[in-house]
Chains A and B, each alone.
Chain A
């Protein structure tokens, strides 16, 4: 059933759809558009070229990216965000709990937007090495660049990213407008074909009663996207029976903290991501019940739980240990200088005040990223398990490609939302990139969720073999860095 769902994802996702299906559902949605004829006289003032719904990391990056594009100069762009404006004159002393791992590809996008300078001035932590190992065996894999000098990726707090992008947006305020504390209550879709007496634009009705029109609506409103729901885009999604507990950890002693650690426990992966020489961020995905228990623990017991999760070997079994070491010996004969010694992460002494939070985890993928005059990006289109740190990067990848596609369309004089051809190009390209990544992350999650001996043996051998093959590791890193 699982593979069928993946196959369905692949078939629905990467094929070209019959446009009639879209027209049909567009017609269903367009029934409601007849009511707004009387607003057509005032709609000129409120007709935008692009409205981006959702001002998180990905939505704000999209607004910046469109605003800076030279072919889109003169287009009217609006960003709608339900929360308040996130400004950060000074970085707060304490770290916030929600962090993201920013790949070099995303860092390139952010520096092209001019936001990376702000981020570097505020706070970001590059790391050079990543160690991923199993709790049920000795298998481990390390990723690093050749000489440990180059950075692999960066850990940045989400608030810092949004604040940096908001600062850049302010410099574009002449043609990118932002409305904060604005909630959308309804979307009305246009008919895909030209019908007289009906408005051919997407109508966005706000909570304060105003109606805006746009030629293209971009939905960047998160995993429970209203745009996606209202457009009736079918989504393949399931909940993992896991929640993630995040916290800020104080290390026992200052260290050159430039390694990211992740250990796969049978209940779920626990990860420690460096924030500074003395602090790290914790992301512990575990069952709902265990997560709640962890939140209830007092600080000392919580810290003990973390340390033992990283350090203890209680899940090892004799069989697996022997098999694992045999395999490792065999590999070392074949490839003498492969394999790495297992290092242990730094021990934790305390946690940041009031910084334990939990949130549920799930997987989601929209089968279509586009409709007539609509596109969805970021978590609205795809939602992954945090174990690979790819969620934000996939979203930034969407931003980069959609901007490129819209820029080219504008230079060809096309209507940005109407001609499905360039939107389809965006959807095909991004689904081709996102689906394998999401499938791999889901596979990893399921593979490591059990401590049954055969599966453990399989993944032990697999991990050790992958660790022994530098070209394969380089491929993985290159794919994840895009």
Chain B
């Protein structure tokens, strides 16, 4: 495994050939002239990006990439993931980093939920809880959560991914009962399942969405009061551009080229502000780091590149000094857990 990673690194450094996607070969070379608030270096990078990579259709380099639409789903992103739908469970393939991220995200989710609800049952610590996995893809995160005893509903707009996920979990009778998948969008689900879930997990999803406000509002609708929202995503900094896009996509090929668009990254402060405006209280933010040589993730203090966030839906309208009124039914939320 070491040799493969080193070879990849060496290859990436030596030959900067691009990732060829069979579906979309056209290069979107439209460059919008209006970029008043971008720094020149950023513009330079974007232009270089456009010249370097063909294959997946590039995002327009407007400043405000996310239009305020009524849907969270971005059709370009859907097409991108449609092409990769069969590769979800290839542990050494394009999604290898997501599989190894489970070592961080599953304990993060598990421990925070245990803090709030306590161990339900030995062997199935999270039994009785309902979790919604938004953007579940092939079920990479839904399956471990299902094994811990939760009832998981995984949703994804890409039908092929959902089918892959269903097929993969169909062999295991434990998972078949507890993990369900649905090919729909979060807005569609929010209409049916108001206040139905103890937790919502949106891992590596927020950077692919079209409209974050709609996303936050739907999460607020589907969560029970006091329910948890877990998000892992990438920060919007120069460092995340260098490591998250240039290094990860083009040099080291940790993810396929074109997977991420720097414009859609969001900083933890912005995300926190957004969530608080929708009635959430952000309880913990932790930085994560990926080591390309070992293929392993680890927690770190710095949130400059990847980070994980845990927010709790406030039980009533947030008013100063009254946010933590005790509720009869639910336990007091725990403090941020130390993950070092």
Interface residues of A (CB under 8 A from B): 16, 18-19, 44, 47, 70-75, 193-194, 196, 199-201, 215, 410-415, 421
Bound: A413/B103 CA distance, A: 10
Asked whether, in the complex, the Cβ of A70 is within 8 Å of the Cβ of B147, the reply is: no
Asked whether, in the complex, the Cβ of A75 is within 8 Å of the Cβ of B2, the reply is: no
Known contacts: A412-B102, A412-B103, A413-B110. The answer to whether A196 contacts B123 by CB under 8 A is no
Q: Mind listing 27 A-B residue pairs with CB under 8 Å? A: A18-B1, A70-B122, A70-B123, A71-B122, A71-B123, A73-B122, A74-B121, A74-B122, A75-B123, A193-B89, A193-B91, A194-B89, A200-B171, A201-B171, A411-B110, A411-B148, A412-B102, A412-B103, A412-B106, A412-B107, A412-B110, A412-B144, A413-B145, A413-B146, A413-B147, A414-B102, A415-B147
Bound: A215/B168 CA distance, A: 14
Interface size of B by Cβ–Cβ distance < 8 Å? 30
Counting residue pairs across A and B whose Cβ atoms lie within 8 Å, the total is 62
Bound: A71/B122 CA distance, A: 6
Candidates A194, A199, A200, A411; contact of B125 at CB < 8 Å: A411
For B167, the chain A residues whose CB sits under 8 A away are 196
- Minimum CB–CB distance from B98 to chain A (whole Å) comes to 13
- Minimum CB–CB distance from B157 to chain A (whole Å) comes to 22
Bound: A248/B72 CA distance, A: 79
For B168, the chain A residues whose CB sits under 8 A away are 194
For A19, the chain B residues whose CB sits under 8 A away are 1, 92
Known contacts: A19-B92, A196-B167, A199-B171. The answer to whether A74 contacts B107 by CB under 8 A is no
For B103, the chain A residues whose CB sits under 8 A away are 412, 421
Asked whether, in the complex, the Cβ of A413 is within 8 Å of the Cβ of B122, the reply is: no
- Minimum CB–CB distance from B306 to chain A (whole Å) comes to 19
B124 contacts the other chain (Cβ, under 8 Å)? yes
For B171, the chain A residues whose CB sits under 8 A away are 199-201
Asked whether, in the complex, the Cβ of B143 is within 8 Å of the Cβ of A74, the reply is: no
Asked whether, in the complex, the Cβ of B102 is within 8 Å of the Cβ of A72, the reply is: no
Asked whether, in the complex, the Cβ of B122 is within 8 Å of the Cβ of A16, the reply is: no
Known contacts: A44-B173, A412-B102. The answer to whether A18 contacts B123 by CB under 8 A is no
Apart from A74-B124, A193-B91, A413-B146, list 11 A-B contacts with CB within 8 A.
A19-B1, A70-B123, A73-B122, A73-B123, A74-B121, A74-B123, A200-B171, A412-B107, A412-B144, A413-B145, A413-B147
Bound: A44/B90 CA distance, A: 25
For A196, the chain B residues whose CB sits under 8 A away are 167
Asked whether, in the complex, the Cβ of A16 is within 8 Å of the Cβ of B123, the reply is: no
Asked whether, in the complex, the Cβ of B3 is within 8 Å of the Cβ of A18, the reply is: yes
0/1 string, B134-173, CB within 8 A of A gives 1? 0000000001111110000000000000000001100111
Candidates B1, B3, B89, B143; contact of A413 at CB < 8 Å: B143
Q: A17: nearest residue on chain B (CB-CB)?
A: B1
Closest 6 CB pairs of A and B: A413-B144, A73-B123, A74-B123, A73-B122, A413-B147, A194-B89
Q: B103: nearest residue on chain A (CB-CB)?
A: A412
For A200, the chain B residues whose CB sits under 8 A away are 171
Bound: A260/B92 CA distance, A: 53
